A and B are shown apart, each in its own frame.
Chain A
Amino acid sequence: MPAPPDRAEDTLQADRALVAAVLAGAPGAFERLVRDYQGLCWHVIDRMVRHPEDTRELCQEAFLRVHQALHQYRGESALKSWIAQVAYSVARRHLEKKRIPIADTVGDDDGPSLVESVGDGFDLEAETAEGESVALLHAAIERLPPLQRTLLSLYHLEELPIGEISRITGLAEGTIKSHLFRSRKQLRGLLEPTLGVFAA
Protein backbone atom coordinates (compact mmCIF):
# COMPACT_ATOMS: atom_id res chain seq x y z
CA MET A 1 0.00 0.00 0.00
CA PRO A 2 1.26 3.49 -0.76
CA ALA A 3 2.18 5.62 2.23
CA PRO A 4 -0.53 8.05 3.43
CA PRO A 5 0.04 11.66 2.21
CA ASP A 6 1.50 12.98 5.47
CA ARG A 7 3.89 10.08 5.82
CA ALA A 8 4.86 10.31 2.16
CA GLU A 9 5.73 14.01 2.59
CA ASP A 10 7.75 13.22 5.72
CA THR A 11 9.63 10.57 3.77
CA LEU A 12 10.35 13.00 0.94
CA GLN A 13 11.62 15.61 3.39
CA ALA A 14 13.89 13.06 5.03
CA ASP A 15 15.12 11.97 1.60
CA ARG A 16 15.89 15.56 0.60
CA ALA A 17 17.75 16.18 3.86
CA LEU A 18 19.82 13.05 3.43
CA VAL A 19 20.68 13.91 -0.18
CA ALA A 20 21.63 17.47 0.82
CA ALA A 21 23.92 16.08 3.52
CA VAL A 22 25.63 13.78 1.02
CA LEU A 23 26.07 16.57 -1.51
CA ALA A 24 27.50 18.82 1.18
CA GLY A 25 30.04 16.14 2.01
CA ALA A 26 28.76 15.53 5.55
CA PRO A 27 30.83 12.76 7.15
CA GLY A 28 29.05 9.42 7.07
CA ALA A 29 26.06 10.71 5.09
CA PHE A 30 26.61 8.58 2.01
CA GLU A 31 27.30 5.50 4.10
CA ARG A 32 23.99 6.10 5.85
CA LEU A 33 22.21 6.42 2.53
CA VAL A 34 23.71 3.10 1.40
CA ARG A 35 22.76 1.45 4.67
CA ASP A 36 19.18 2.72 4.41
CA TYR A 37 18.64 1.43 0.89
CA GLN A 38 21.12 -1.41 0.42
CA GLY A 39 18.49 -4.04 1.21
CA LEU A 40 16.19 -2.98 -1.61
CA CYS A 41 19.04 -2.46 -4.06
CA TRP A 42 20.56 -5.83 -3.24
CA HIS A 43 17.17 -7.49 -3.41
CA VAL A 44 16.35 -6.13 -6.88
CA ILE A 45 19.74 -7.03 -8.32
CA ASP A 46 19.88 -10.44 -6.69
CA ARG A 47 16.45 -11.33 -8.03
CA MET A 48 17.53 -10.30 -11.50
CA VAL A 49 20.97 -11.90 -11.77
CA ARG A 50 20.95 -14.77 -9.18
CA HIS A 51 24.72 -14.79 -8.82
CA PRO A 52 26.25 -13.78 -5.48
CA GLU A 53 29.48 -12.24 -6.80
CA ASP A 54 27.72 -10.41 -9.63
CA THR A 55 25.12 -9.16 -7.18
CA ARG A 56 27.77 -7.64 -4.95
CA GLU A 57 29.61 -5.95 -7.83
CA LEU A 58 26.47 -4.68 -9.48
CA CYS A 59 25.09 -3.39 -6.21
CA GLN A 60 28.33 -1.48 -5.70
CA GLU A 61 28.07 -0.13 -9.22
CA ALA A 62 24.49 0.94 -8.64
CA PHE A 63 25.39 2.92 -5.51
CA LEU A 64 28.40 4.50 -7.20
CA ARG A 65 26.09 5.61 -9.99
CA VAL A 66 23.70 6.98 -7.40
CA HIS A 67 26.59 8.84 -5.78
CA GLN A 68 27.70 10.27 -9.11
CA ALA A 69 24.25 11.40 -10.15
CA LEU A 70 22.81 12.34 -6.77
CA HIS A 71 22.76 16.03 -7.61
CA GLN A 72 20.15 15.18 -10.23
CA TYR A 73 17.74 13.90 -7.60
CA ARG A 74 15.04 16.56 -7.37
CA GLY A 75 13.22 15.22 -4.32
CA GLU A 76 9.94 14.91 -6.20
CA SER A 77 9.69 11.15 -5.79
CA ALA A 78 10.87 8.80 -3.08
CA LEU A 79 14.62 8.22 -3.02
CA LYS A 80 13.80 4.55 -2.54
CA SER A 81 12.15 4.37 -6.01
CA TRP A 82 14.97 6.32 -7.60
CA ILE A 83 17.62 3.99 -6.20
CA ALA A 84 15.59 0.91 -7.12
CA GLN A 85 15.33 2.30 -10.65
CA VAL A 86 19.12 2.60 -10.85
CA ALA A 87 19.54 -0.92 -9.45
CA TYR A 88 17.07 -2.39 -11.90
CA SER A 89 18.71 -0.59 -14.81
CA VAL A 90 22.21 -1.78 -13.81
CA ALA A 91 21.00 -5.38 -13.48
CA ARG A 92 19.05 -5.28 -16.75
CA ARG A 93 22.09 -4.00 -18.67
CA HIS A 94 24.22 -6.72 -17.11
CA LEU A 95 21.82 -9.41 -18.30
CA GLU A 96 21.57 -7.85 -21.75
CA LYS A 97 25.36 -7.82 -22.03
CA LYS A 98 25.39 -11.51 -21.16
CA ARG A 99 22.54 -12.08 -23.62
CA ILE A 100 20.34 -13.54 -20.90
CA PRO A 101 16.66 -12.98 -21.71
CA ILE A 102 15.03 -11.09 -18.88
CA ALA A 103 11.44 -12.10 -19.56
CA ASP A 104 9.25 -14.61 -21.27
CA THR A 105 7.05 -13.08 -23.92
CA VAL A 106 3.81 -12.09 -22.30
CA GLY A 107 0.64 -13.25 -23.92
CA ASP A 108 1.44 -16.69 -25.24
CA ASP A 109 -0.65 -18.53 -22.69
CA ASP A 110 1.50 -19.49 -19.76
CA GLY A 111 4.87 -20.12 -21.31
CA PRO A 112 6.98 -23.21 -20.61
CA SER A 113 5.75 -25.56 -17.95
CA LEU A 114 7.19 -24.88 -14.52
CA VAL A 115 6.29 -28.43 -13.54
CA GLU A 116 8.87 -29.63 -16.04
CA SER A 117 11.50 -27.23 -14.87
CA VAL A 118 11.14 -27.88 -11.16
CA GLY A 119 10.24 -31.55 -11.35
CA ASP A 120 13.73 -32.78 -10.55
CA GLY A 121 14.06 -33.56 -6.89
CA PHE A 122 10.37 -33.22 -6.14
CA ASP A 123 7.91 -36.03 -6.00
CA LEU A 124 4.73 -34.08 -6.53
CA GLU A 125 2.45 -36.89 -5.50
CA ALA A 126 4.35 -37.55 -2.31
CA GLU A 127 4.82 -33.92 -1.24
CA THR A 128 1.57 -33.01 0.34
CA ALA A 129 2.56 -31.10 3.44
CA GLU A 130 2.05 -27.39 3.08
CA GLY A 131 5.59 -26.50 4.03
CA GLU A 132 6.94 -28.67 1.28
CA SER A 133 4.54 -27.12 -1.19
CA VAL A 134 5.87 -23.72 -0.24
CA ALA A 135 9.41 -24.97 -0.83
CA LEU A 136 8.31 -26.28 -4.20
CA LEU A 137 6.95 -22.86 -5.10
CA HIS A 138 10.14 -21.15 -3.96
CA ALA A 139 12.13 -23.42 -6.24
CA ALA A 140 9.74 -22.64 -9.07
CA ILE A 141 10.08 -18.89 -8.49
CA GLU A 142 13.86 -19.30 -8.77
CA ARG A 143 13.34 -20.73 -12.23
CA LEU A 144 11.15 -17.95 -13.49
CA PRO A 145 12.79 -15.49 -15.91
CA PRO A 146 14.60 -12.59 -14.17
CA LEU A 147 11.90 -10.02 -14.80
CA GLN A 148 9.04 -12.17 -13.55
CA ARG A 149 10.77 -13.16 -10.31
CA THR A 150 11.82 -9.54 -9.72
CA LEU A 151 8.28 -8.30 -10.20
CA LEU A 152 6.97 -10.92 -7.77
CA SER A 153 9.55 -9.76 -5.23
CA LEU A 154 8.83 -6.08 -5.61
CA TYR A 155 5.09 -6.62 -5.35
CA HIS A 156 4.85 -9.28 -2.67
CA LEU A 157 7.98 -8.81 -0.55
CA GLU A 158 8.73 -5.10 -0.87
CA GLU A 159 4.99 -4.44 -1.13
CA LEU A 160 5.46 -1.70 -3.67
CA PRO A 161 2.35 -0.51 -5.52
CA ILE A 162 2.09 -1.27 -9.25
CA GLY A 163 2.63 2.41 -10.11
CA GLU A 164 5.94 2.51 -8.26
CA ILE A 165 7.08 -0.74 -9.87
CA SER A 166 6.23 0.85 -13.20
CA ARG A 167 8.51 3.80 -12.40
CA ILE A 168 11.33 1.49 -11.37
CA THR A 169 11.18 -0.85 -14.34
CA GLY A 170 9.91 1.51 -17.02
CA LEU A 171 7.19 -1.02 -17.86
CA ALA A 172 3.54 -0.13 -18.34
CA GLU A 173 1.28 -1.00 -15.41
CA GLY A 174 -0.75 -3.37 -17.58
CA THR A 175 2.41 -5.24 -18.57
CA ILE A 176 3.39 -5.63 -14.93
CA LYS A 177 -0.06 -6.96 -14.05
CA SER A 178 0.14 -9.43 -16.93
CA HIS A 179 3.50 -10.74 -15.77
CA LEU A 180 2.30 -11.06 -12.19
CA PHE A 181 -0.97 -12.68 -13.17
CA ARG A 182 0.61 -15.27 -15.41
CA SER A 183 3.47 -16.04 -13.04
CA ARG A 184 1.06 -16.62 -10.18
CA LYS A 185 -1.22 -18.70 -12.36
CA GLN A 186 1.71 -20.86 -13.37
CA LEU A 187 2.81 -21.26 -9.78
CA ARG A 188 -0.68 -22.10 -8.58
CA GLY A 189 -0.90 -24.68 -11.32
CA LEU A 190 1.99 -26.53 -9.72
CA LEU A 191 -0.10 -27.17 -6.65
CA GLU A 192 -2.99 -28.87 -8.35
CA PRO A 193 -1.55 -32.38 -8.31
CA THR A 194 -1.11 -32.21 -4.57
CA LEU A 195 -3.30 -29.67 -2.87
CA GLY A 196 -6.12 -29.87 -5.34
CA VAL A 197 -7.52 -32.91 -3.62
CA PHE A 198 -7.66 -31.04 -0.36
CA ALA A 199 -9.26 -28.03 -1.93
CA ALA A 200 -12.13 -30.03 -3.37
Chain B
Amino acid sequence: MNTPRPPRSTDAHPVDERDWLAQERALPDPSGDRRDAVLARALRTMPVSRPPADFAAEVARLAAAGFSTRTAFSDAPVYGGKSWLSVATVQTGVRIETPSLYDEMEPSAARLGTITNFFKSQGYRTVSLQPGNYRNDMRFPDPYARDRQYAFKDLRYNGPAYGYVGVPDQHSLRVFTEDVLSQERGPTFMFYLSISTHHPFPSIPFEGGGPWPSIPGVEAIPADGAHRAYFNTVEYEWRCLLEFIDRVADDDAVFFIIGDHQPLLERTMDDVQELTVLQSSNTPVHVISRNAAFLQRFEKYGFQPGLAPPPGTGGLRHEGLASLFVHEFVGQFGGEAQQRHTQYYPDGIGLGGLVAPASRDVGAGSERDGAQEQQGR
Protein backbone atom coordinates (compact mmCIF):
# COMPACT_ATOMS: atom_id res chain seq x y z
CA MET B 1 0.00 0.00 0.00
CA ASN B 2 3.01 2.24 0.35
CA THR B 3 4.29 1.40 -3.10
CA PRO B 4 4.05 4.24 -5.59
CA ARG B 5 1.89 3.40 -8.55
CA PRO B 6 2.40 4.84 -12.00
CA PRO B 7 -0.38 7.42 -12.40
CA ARG B 8 -3.16 6.39 -14.76
CA SER B 9 -4.02 8.76 -17.55
CA THR B 10 -7.59 8.48 -18.75
CA ASP B 11 -7.49 11.82 -20.48
CA ALA B 12 -8.02 11.53 -24.21
CA HIS B 13 -8.28 15.32 -24.57
CA PRO B 14 -6.09 16.98 -21.94
CA VAL B 15 -6.86 20.52 -20.98
CA ASP B 16 -4.63 23.13 -22.52
CA GLU B 17 -2.26 24.42 -19.83
CA ARG B 18 -3.08 28.05 -20.75
CA ASP B 19 -6.80 27.41 -20.28
CA TRP B 20 -6.10 25.73 -16.96
CA LEU B 21 -3.98 28.62 -15.72
CA ALA B 22 -6.52 31.18 -16.90
CA GLN B 23 -9.27 29.42 -14.95
CA GLU B 24 -7.02 29.12 -11.91
CA ARG B 25 -6.25 32.85 -11.98
CA ALA B 26 -9.87 33.88 -12.53
CA LEU B 27 -11.34 32.01 -9.56
CA PRO B 28 -9.68 33.92 -6.71
CA ASP B 29 -9.69 37.29 -8.49
CA PRO B 30 -12.04 39.63 -6.56
CA SER B 31 -12.02 42.22 -9.35
CA GLY B 32 -12.96 39.78 -12.08
CA ASP B 33 -16.16 38.28 -13.38
CA ARG B 34 -18.78 37.88 -10.67
CA ARG B 35 -19.57 34.36 -11.85
CA ASP B 36 -16.03 33.31 -11.00
CA ALA B 37 -16.32 34.84 -7.56
CA VAL B 38 -19.55 32.99 -6.87
CA LEU B 39 -18.07 29.74 -8.13
CA ALA B 40 -14.98 30.21 -5.95
CA ARG B 41 -17.19 30.82 -2.92
CA ALA B 42 -19.28 27.76 -3.69
CA LEU B 43 -16.18 25.59 -3.99
CA ARG B 44 -14.76 26.90 -0.71
CA THR B 45 -17.98 26.33 1.17
CA MET B 46 -19.07 22.91 -0.07
CA PRO B 47 -21.03 21.29 2.76
CA VAL B 48 -19.18 18.39 4.36
CA SER B 49 -20.34 15.72 6.75
CA ARG B 50 -18.27 14.75 9.75
CA PRO B 51 -17.76 11.40 11.49
CA PRO B 52 -19.74 10.90 14.69
CA ALA B 53 -18.04 11.77 17.96
CA ASP B 54 -17.47 8.12 18.96
CA PHE B 55 -16.08 7.06 15.60
CA ALA B 56 -12.38 6.96 16.51
CA ALA B 57 -13.01 5.00 19.72
CA GLU B 58 -15.21 2.53 17.87
CA VAL B 59 -12.63 1.90 15.14
CA ALA B 60 -9.88 1.51 17.73
CA ARG B 61 -11.97 -1.09 19.54
CA LEU B 62 -12.59 -3.00 16.32
CA ALA B 63 -8.91 -2.94 15.44
CA ALA B 64 -7.95 -4.21 18.88
CA ALA B 65 -10.37 -7.12 18.62
CA GLY B 66 -9.55 -8.05 15.08
CA PHE B 67 -7.36 -10.68 13.51
CA SER B 68 -5.11 -9.99 10.57
CA THR B 69 -3.84 -12.35 7.91
CA ARG B 70 -0.85 -12.95 5.69
CA THR B 71 -1.14 -15.15 2.65
CA ALA B 72 1.22 -16.76 0.15
CA PHE B 73 1.04 -19.61 -2.32
CA SER B 74 2.82 -22.92 -1.89
CA ASP B 75 3.55 -25.76 -4.26
CA ALA B 76 1.74 -28.92 -3.10
CA PRO B 77 3.18 -32.34 -3.98
CA VAL B 78 -0.10 -33.42 -5.61
CA TYR B 79 -3.12 -32.00 -7.39
CA GLY B 80 -6.64 -33.29 -7.90
CA GLY B 81 -6.46 -35.87 -5.09
CA LYS B 82 -4.26 -37.97 -2.76
CA SER B 83 -4.55 -35.34 -0.09
CA TRP B 84 -2.91 -37.54 2.56
CA LEU B 85 0.36 -37.21 0.65
CA SER B 86 0.14 -33.43 0.88
CA VAL B 87 -0.70 -33.61 4.58
CA ALA B 88 2.23 -35.94 5.19
CA THR B 89 4.52 -33.58 3.28
CA VAL B 90 3.53 -30.63 5.45
CA GLN B 91 3.78 -32.64 8.66
CA THR B 92 7.14 -34.28 8.00
CA GLY B 93 8.96 -31.71 5.86
CA VAL B 94 9.66 -34.44 3.30
CA ARG B 95 8.10 -34.19 -0.16
CA ILE B 96 5.95 -37.33 -0.23
CA GLU B 97 4.58 -37.69 -3.74
CA THR B 98 3.82 -41.40 -3.96
CA PRO B 99 1.66 -43.77 -1.92
CA SER B 100 4.61 -46.15 -1.57
CA LEU B 101 6.72 -43.48 0.12
CA TYR B 102 3.81 -42.68 2.38
CA ASP B 103 3.51 -46.35 3.31
CA GLU B 104 7.14 -46.32 4.34
CA MET B 105 6.67 -43.22 6.46
CA GLU B 106 3.42 -44.03 8.23
CA PRO B 107 4.52 -46.69 10.74
CA SER B 108 7.14 -44.40 12.25
CA ALA B 109 5.19 -41.12 11.91
CA ALA B 110 4.63 -40.79 15.63
CA ARG B 111 8.41 -40.61 16.16
CA LEU B 112 9.30 -38.32 13.25
CA GLY B 113 10.05 -34.63 13.42
CA THR B 114 6.51 -33.66 12.53
CA ILE B 115 5.00 -30.32 13.35
CA THR B 116 2.65 -32.04 15.81
CA ASN B 117 5.65 -33.61 17.54
CA PHE B 118 7.41 -30.30 17.73
CA PHE B 119 4.59 -28.84 19.78
CA LYS B 120 4.34 -32.01 21.83
CA SER B 121 8.03 -31.66 22.65
CA GLN B 122 7.41 -28.08 23.81
CA GLY B 123 4.80 -29.13 26.35
CA TYR B 124 1.66 -28.55 24.32
CA ARG B 125 -1.32 -30.85 24.42
CA THR B 126 -1.73 -32.10 20.86
CA VAL B 127 -5.24 -32.84 19.64
CA SER B 128 -6.54 -33.74 16.23
CA LEU B 129 -9.85 -33.52 14.37
CA GLN B 130 -10.32 -35.63 11.25
CA PRO B 131 -13.99 -35.94 10.26
CA GLY B 132 -12.87 -37.58 7.00
CA ASN B 133 -11.43 -40.51 8.92
CA TYR B 134 -14.59 -42.60 8.91
CA ARG B 135 -13.43 -46.19 8.56
CA ASN B 136 -10.93 -48.11 10.55
CA ASP B 137 -9.21 -49.32 7.42
CA MET B 138 -9.03 -45.91 5.83
CA ARG B 139 -5.68 -44.90 4.47
CA PHE B 140 -5.23 -42.01 6.81
CA PRO B 141 -5.94 -42.86 10.42
CA ASP B 142 -4.21 -39.92 12.00
CA PRO B 143 -0.57 -40.98 12.28
CA TYR B 144 0.34 -37.61 13.74
CA ALA B 145 -2.03 -37.51 16.68
CA ARG B 146 -0.48 -37.71 20.10
CA ASP B 147 -2.78 -36.89 22.99
CA ARG B 148 -6.33 -37.01 21.70
CA GLN B 149 -7.97 -37.48 18.33
CA TYR B 150 -11.52 -37.15 17.07
CA ALA B 151 -12.70 -38.88 13.92
CA PHE B 152 -16.05 -39.43 12.20
CA LYS B 153 -17.38 -41.89 14.76
CA ASP B 154 -16.77 -39.41 17.59
CA LEU B 155 -18.83 -36.64 16.02
CA ARG B 156 -22.32 -38.08 16.68
CA TYR B 157 -23.77 -36.71 13.47
CA ASN B 158 -27.36 -37.70 12.64
CA GLY B 159 -28.31 -35.01 10.11
CA PRO B 160 -28.51 -35.16 6.34
CA ALA B 161 -25.41 -36.57 4.68
CA TYR B 162 -23.33 -34.13 2.70
CA GLY B 163 -20.63 -34.97 0.20
CA TYR B 164 -17.72 -37.29 0.70
CA VAL B 165 -18.20 -38.44 4.28
CA GLY B 166 -21.57 -36.94 5.20
CA VAL B 167 -20.73 -34.82 8.23
CA PRO B 168 -20.52 -31.05 7.66
CA ASP B 169 -17.46 -29.23 8.97
CA GLN B 170 -19.54 -26.73 10.95
CA HIS B 171 -20.94 -29.62 13.01
CA SER B 172 -17.51 -31.21 13.45
CA LEU B 173 -15.89 -28.01 14.66
CA ARG B 174 -18.73 -27.27 17.06
CA VAL B 175 -18.62 -30.75 18.59
CA PHE B 176 -14.84 -30.73 18.84
CA THR B 177 -14.88 -27.31 20.47
CA GLU B 178 -17.40 -28.47 23.03
CA ASP B 179 -16.00 -31.95 23.71
CA VAL B 180 -12.28 -31.36 23.48
CA LEU B 181 -11.10 -27.76 23.31
CA SER B 182 -13.34 -26.52 26.10
CA GLN B 183 -11.69 -29.11 28.37
CA GLU B 184 -8.11 -28.11 27.54
CA ARG B 185 -6.52 -25.69 29.98
CA GLY B 186 -2.88 -25.34 28.92
CA PRO B 187 -1.17 -24.60 25.61
CA THR B 188 -2.86 -26.65 22.91
CA PHE B 189 -1.88 -27.56 19.37
CA MET B 190 -4.81 -28.60 17.20
CA PHE B 191 -4.39 -30.34 13.86
CA TYR B 192 -7.54 -30.26 11.76
CA LEU B 193 -8.27 -31.75 8.34
CA SER B 194 -11.39 -30.14 6.90
CA ILE B 195 -13.57 -32.20 4.59
CA SER B 196 -16.46 -30.08 3.28
CA THR B 197 -14.54 -28.78 0.26
CA HIS B 198 -13.87 -32.34 -0.89
CA HIS B 199 -15.27 -33.54 -4.21
CA PRO B 200 -18.23 -33.80 -5.02
CA PHE B 201 -18.45 -30.25 -3.62
CA PRO B 202 -21.70 -30.53 -1.64
CA SER B 203 -24.02 -27.60 -1.10
CA ILE B 204 -24.19 -27.34 2.71
CA PRO B 205 -26.35 -24.76 4.48
CA PHE B 206 -24.46 -22.73 7.07
CA GLU B 207 -26.38 -22.54 10.32
CA GLY B 208 -26.68 -19.14 11.98
CA GLY B 209 -24.35 -16.24 11.44
CA GLY B 210 -25.01 -12.86 9.94
CA PRO B 211 -24.89 -11.76 6.34
CA TRP B 212 -21.82 -12.81 4.42
CA PRO B 213 -20.08 -10.25 2.24
CA SER B 214 -20.10 -10.76 -1.50
CA ILE B 215 -16.66 -11.82 -2.67
CA PRO B 216 -15.24 -9.65 -5.47
CA GLY B 217 -15.01 -11.52 -8.77
CA VAL B 218 -17.61 -14.14 -7.92
CA GLU B 219 -19.83 -12.89 -10.75
CA ALA B 220 -17.31 -14.31 -13.20
CA ILE B 221 -18.04 -17.87 -12.04
CA PRO B 222 -20.98 -19.44 -13.91
CA ALA B 223 -24.00 -19.80 -11.64
CA ASP B 224 -24.23 -23.55 -12.27
CA GLY B 225 -21.69 -26.27 -12.63
CA ALA B 226 -18.69 -27.61 -10.78
CA HIS B 227 -16.77 -24.32 -10.55
CA ARG B 228 -19.61 -22.61 -8.70
CA ALA B 229 -20.16 -25.68 -6.52
CA TYR B 230 -16.48 -25.70 -5.58
CA PHE B 231 -16.50 -21.96 -4.87
CA ASN B 232 -19.54 -22.42 -2.63
CA THR B 233 -17.78 -25.10 -0.60
CA VAL B 234 -14.78 -22.80 -0.11
CA GLU B 235 -17.08 -20.01 1.04
CA TYR B 236 -18.84 -22.44 3.42
CA GLU B 237 -15.51 -23.58 4.79
CA TRP B 238 -14.40 -20.02 5.52
CA ARG B 239 -17.61 -19.37 7.37
CA CYS B 240 -16.98 -22.49 9.48
CA LEU B 241 -13.39 -21.48 10.16
CA LEU B 242 -14.28 -17.91 11.09
CA GLU B 243 -17.02 -19.09 13.42
CA PHE B 244 -14.54 -21.47 15.00
CA ILE B 245 -11.85 -18.81 15.34
CA ASP B 246 -14.36 -16.41 16.86
CA ARG B 247 -15.38 -19.02 19.44
CA VAL B 248 -12.07 -20.46 20.53
CA ALA B 249 -9.34 -17.91 19.90
CA ASP B 250 -7.75 -15.99 22.73
CA ASP B 251 -5.21 -13.21 22.22
CA ASP B 252 -2.34 -15.63 21.74
CA ALA B 253 -4.01 -17.95 19.24
CA VAL B 254 -2.29 -18.49 15.91
CA PHE B 255 -3.85 -20.24 12.92
CA PHE B 256 -1.93 -21.71 10.03
CA ILE B 257 -4.28 -22.69 7.20
CA ILE B 258 -2.90 -24.70 4.29
CA GLY B 259 -4.57 -25.90 1.11
CA ASP B 260 -3.76 -29.56 0.52
CA HIS B 261 -4.22 -29.47 -3.24
CA GLN B 262 -6.20 -27.90 -6.04
CA PRO B 263 -9.29 -29.69 -7.30
CA LEU B 264 -9.02 -31.58 -10.53
CA LEU B 265 -10.06 -29.36 -13.42
CA GLU B 266 -13.06 -30.47 -15.40
CA ARG B 267 -11.85 -31.77 -18.71
CA THR B 268 -12.98 -33.29 -21.93
CA MET B 269 -10.94 -35.24 -24.42
CA ASP B 270 -10.70 -32.11 -26.57
CA ASP B 271 -9.19 -29.83 -23.99
CA VAL B 272 -7.14 -32.29 -22.00
CA GLN B 273 -3.81 -31.00 -23.23
CA GLU B 274 -4.63 -27.37 -22.55
CA LEU B 275 -6.04 -28.06 -19.10
CA THR B 276 -3.09 -30.20 -18.12
CA VAL B 277 -0.94 -27.14 -18.70
CA LEU B 278 -3.34 -24.98 -16.67
CA GLN B 279 -3.64 -27.42 -13.76
CA SER B 280 -1.80 -25.86 -10.88
CA SER B 281 -0.37 -27.41 -7.78
CA ASN B 282 -0.25 -24.02 -6.03
CA THR B 283 -2.45 -23.70 -2.98
CA PRO B 284 -2.94 -20.77 -0.61
CA VAL B 285 -1.31 -20.70 2.81
CA HIS B 286 -2.72 -18.30 5.39
CA VAL B 287 -1.33 -17.21 8.74
CA ILE B 288 -3.97 -15.63 11.00
CA SER B 289 -3.18 -13.91 14.27
CA ARG B 290 -3.88 -10.84 16.35
CA ASN B 291 -0.14 -10.34 16.76
CA ALA B 292 1.04 -7.85 14.12
CA ALA B 293 4.73 -8.46 14.82
CA PHE B 294 4.33 -12.21 14.35
CA LEU B 295 2.54 -11.71 11.05
CA GLN B 296 5.14 -9.28 9.85
CA ARG B 297 7.78 -11.99 10.16
CA PHE B 298 6.19 -13.82 7.24
CA GLU B 299 6.53 -10.95 4.83
CA LYS B 300 10.18 -11.64 4.14
CA TYR B 301 9.06 -14.94 2.63
CA GLY B 302 6.63 -13.16 0.31
CA PHE B 303 3.45 -13.39 2.37
CA GLN B 304 1.09 -10.47 1.75
CA PRO B 305 -1.76 -8.99 3.82
CA GLY B 306 -5.25 -10.31 3.18
CA LEU B 307 -6.59 -13.61 1.95
CA ALA B 308 -6.20 -13.28 -1.81
CA PRO B 309 -2.84 -11.94 -2.96
CA PRO B 310 -1.86 -12.05 -6.64
CA PRO B 311 -1.11 -15.50 -8.11
CA GLY B 312 2.46 -16.60 -7.53
CA THR B 313 2.87 -14.69 -4.26
CA GLY B 314 5.39 -16.44 -2.07
CA GLY B 315 6.53 -19.29 -4.26
CA LEU B 316 6.85 -21.64 -1.27
CA ARG B 317 6.87 -25.44 -1.16
CA HIS B 318 4.76 -27.59 1.13
CA GLU B 319 7.77 -29.52 2.41
CA GLY B 320 9.23 -26.25 3.74
CA LEU B 321 6.13 -24.99 5.54
CA ALA B 322 6.56 -26.78 8.89
CA SER B 323 10.11 -25.56 9.36
CA LEU B 324 9.14 -22.04 8.29
CA PHE B 325 6.27 -21.89 10.71
CA VAL B 326 8.23 -23.35 13.60
CA HIS B 327 11.22 -21.10 12.93
CA GLU B 328 9.15 -17.92 13.03
CA PHE B 329 6.88 -19.11 15.83
CA VAL B 330 9.89 -19.78 18.03
CA GLY B 331 11.49 -16.50 16.95
CA GLN B 332 8.44 -14.51 17.98
CA PHE B 333 7.41 -16.30 21.14
CA GLY B 334 10.65 -17.94 22.28
CA GLY B 335 13.15 -15.22 21.44
CA GLU B 336 16.24 -15.02 19.26
CA ALA B 337 18.32 -17.39 21.36
CA GLN B 338 15.72 -20.12 21.01
CA GLN B 339 15.24 -19.38 17.34
CA ARG B 340 18.90 -20.18 16.67
CA HIS B 341 18.02 -23.80 17.43
CA THR B 342 15.58 -23.87 14.54
CA GLN B 343 16.03 -23.35 10.85
CA TYR B 344 13.88 -22.81 7.78
CA TYR B 345 14.34 -25.44 5.06
CA PRO B 346 12.62 -24.05 1.95
CA ASP B 347 12.98 -27.34 0.06
CA GLY B 348 12.24 -29.58 3.01
CA ILE B 349 14.62 -31.94 4.72
CA GLY B 350 15.02 -34.78 2.22
CA LEU B 351 14.31 -38.45 2.74
CA GLY B 352 16.48 -38.47 5.86
CA GLY B 353 13.55 -36.84 7.61
CA LEU B 354 11.72 -40.16 7.42
CA VAL B 355 14.30 -41.93 9.57
CA ALA B 356 12.88 -41.97 13.07
CA PRO B 357 15.20 -41.59 16.05
CA ALA B 358 15.19 -44.45 18.51
CA SER B 359 13.89 -42.28 21.32
CA ARG B 360 13.37 -38.72 22.62
CA ASP B 361 11.02 -36.13 21.25
CA VAL B 362 11.85 -34.40 18.05
CA GLY B 363 10.50 -31.27 16.46
CA ALA B 364 9.99 -29.95 12.97
CA GLY B 365 12.85 -27.69 12.00
CA SER B 366 14.56 -28.10 15.35
CA GLU B 367 18.27 -28.75 15.62
CA ARG B 368 19.13 -32.44 15.21
CA ASP B 369 22.24 -34.39 15.98
CA GLY B 370 25.11 -34.46 13.50
CA ALA B 371 23.99 -37.60 11.72
CA GLN B 372 20.59 -36.17 10.94
CA GLU B 373 22.06 -32.85 9.92
CA GLN B 374 23.88 -34.69 7.18
CA GLN B 375 20.75 -36.40 6.01
CA GLY B 376 19.59 -33.38 4.12
CA ARG B 377 19.22 -30.69 6.77
Question: Which of A's residues lie within 8 Å of B, judged by CB?
Answer: 23, 28, 30-32, 34-35, 38-39, 42-43, 46, 52, 55-56, 59-60, 63-65, 67-74, 76-77, 82, 85-86, 93, 97, 103, 105-108, 130, 133-134, 137-138, 141, 152-153, 156-157, 166-167, 170-175, 177-178, 181-182, 184-185, 187-188, 191-192, 195-196, 198-199
Instruction: Kindly state the separation between the CA atoms of A108 and B292 in the bound complex, as whole angstroms.
Output: 48
Return the chain B residue nearest A24 by Cβ: B293
Pick 15 A–B contacts, CB within 8 A, sort by A. A30-B64, A34-B55, A38-B55, A60-B58, A65-B1, A68-B292, A69-B2, A72-B305, A76-B2, A86-B1, A134-B42, A134-B45, A141-B46, A174-B9, A175-B9
Question: Which chain A positions have C-beta within 8 A of B48?
Answer: 43, 46, 153, 157
Nearest 8 interchain pairs by C-beta:
A107-B13, A137-B42, A31-B60, A172-B9, A34-B56, A156-B43, A107-B12, A175-B11
> Is the Cβ of A184 less than 8 Å from the Cβ of B39?
yes
> Is the Cβ of A133 less than 8 Å from the Cβ of B38?
yes
Question: Which chain A positions have C-beta within 8 A of B42?
Answer: 133-134, 137-138, 141, 187
> Is the Cβ of B39 less than 8 Å from the Cβ of A191?
yes
Interchain nearest-CB distance for B271 vs A (Å)? 32
Question: Which chain A positions have C-beta within 8 A of B35?
Answer: 188, 191-192, 195-196, 199
| Number of A-B residue pairs having CB atoms within 8 Å of each other in the complex | 174
Question: Which chain A positions have C-beta within 8 A of B50?
Answer: 39, 42
Question: Which chain A positions have C-beta within 8 A of B68?
Answer: 68
> Is the Cβ of B36 less than 8 Å from the Cβ of A188?
yes
Instruction: Kindly state the separation between the CA atoms of A171 and B11 in the bound complex, as whole angstroms.
Output: 10
Question: Which chain A positions have C-beta within 8 A of B2?
Answer: 69, 72-74, 76-77, 82
- Which among A52, A106, A153, A184 is the interface contact of B46 at CB below 8 angstroms? A153
Instruction: Kindly state the separation between the CA atoms of A137 and B83 in the bound complex, as whole angstroms.
Output: 64
- Which among B23, B34, B41, B49 is the interface contact of A42 at CB below 8 angstroms? B49
Instruction: Kindly state the separation between the CA atoms of A175 and B214 in the bound complex, as whole angstroms.
Output: 32
> Is the Cβ of A31 less than 8 Å from the Cβ of B41?
no
Question: Which chain A positions have C-beta within 8 A of B19?
Answer: 181
- Which among B15, B52, B292 is the interface contact of A23 at CB below 8 angstroms? B292
Instruction: Kindly state the separation between the CA atoms of A70 and B319 in the bound complex, as whole angstroms.
Output: 31
Question: Which chain B positions have C-beta within 8 A of A23?
Answer: 292-293
> Is the Cβ of A134 less than 8 Å from the Cβ of B51?
no
> Is the Cβ of B305 less than 8 Å from the Cβ of A185?
no
